Amino acid sequence: MHATIQKPIDEISKYLRSGEGVFVIGCDNCAAKCHSGGIPETREMAERLKGSGVNIIGWCVPQPPGVSLCKLANTKRVLQEEYGEQVKAADSFLVLACGQGFHTVMDATDGGVVHPGCDTIFGGETVTDNFITEYCSLCGECIVEYTGGLCPVTLCAKSLLNGPCGGAKNGKCEVDRNRDCGWQLIYERLRMLGRLDEMDKYVMPKNNSRWSRPRSLTIGEGEATFRSLSGERRVASHT
């Protein structure tokens, strides 16, 4: 899940030039779940902007139900076939979705002018319908085998790999005394699992070249290829 939160409407209004014809686009997957760009939010954004004098050409949340805006083929089909006339008439597109969905609209409209209507805040677990939280930082080099399945890159404010700093008090982190110390959680879990010896092992510094952006994944016949500054990593995949 890519978690998103809407930008303030005053900020969005500043992006739009006088008389600009705007088509508003949401996402029926992650943004819908975050209530930042589903059908009700996209309709409401279009209506509020229209009410404040913006030239709204129309709005849509590409279907079928639950589909992600970041699936280019679907988004392109919907925008060019189902909303072809409005898309042609629009000067720009306001996207209520994550940064990937945002760029998908740019591709689907052959390089149209796109405005971000949301901030993309993190990739997270949908713990309940009302709570999403971050357990992975997408670093490209998973080390949770050694930390009881809890990622210190994400759960520790300093992303420390070899144990806690001296800043935790009563199990809470120095940056926010309401937040659990990630290493306290890791320590307790390893102890519970009877695998505390994992904490004795030296963990090497991260290979940040695997965290270099932009990265890509190509899924080919029988193999998948990950490309980053660390080079190409090819693995066999099921065909």
Binding positions for other proteins, rule: CB under 8 A: 157-170, 174-176, 183-184, 187, 196, 199-200, 202, 204-206, 208
Round to whole Å and give the CA distance between 136 and 124.
7
Beta bridge partners, 227, equal 216, 232
| Distances 109 to 63, 114, 150, 165, 205 between C-alpha atoms, Å | 17, 9, 40, 49, 42
Q: Which is nearer to other proteins, 62 or 152 (CB)?
A: 152
Give me the least distance between CB of 200 and other proteins, in Å please: 6
Give me the least distance between CB of 122 and other proteins, in Å please: 16
Q: Which is nearer to other proteins, 77 or 169 (CB)?
A: 169
Give me the least distance between CB of 187 and other proteins, in Å please: 5
Half-sphere exposure of 148 (CA within 13 A, CB side): 21
Round to whole Å and give the CA distance between 2 and 34.
9
Q: Which is nearer to other proteins, 103 or 189 (CB)?
A: 189
Q: Which is nearer to other proteins, 131 or 202 (CB)?
A: 202
Give me the least distance between CB of 202 and other proteins, in Å please: 6
Query: DSSP 3-state assignment of 180?
Result: strand
Q: Which is nearer to other proteins, 95 or 173 (CB)?
A: 173
Q: Which residues contact 133 (CB under 8 A, 6 or more apart)?
A: 124, 125, 127
Q: Which is nearer to other proteins, 15 or 211 (CB)?
A: 211
Give me the least distance between CB of 165 and other proteins, in Å please: 4
Give me the least distance between CB of 144 and other proteins, in Å please: 17
Half-sphere exposure of 96 (CA within 13 A, CB side): 34
Q: Say if CB 25 and CB 97 are below 8 A apart.
A: yes
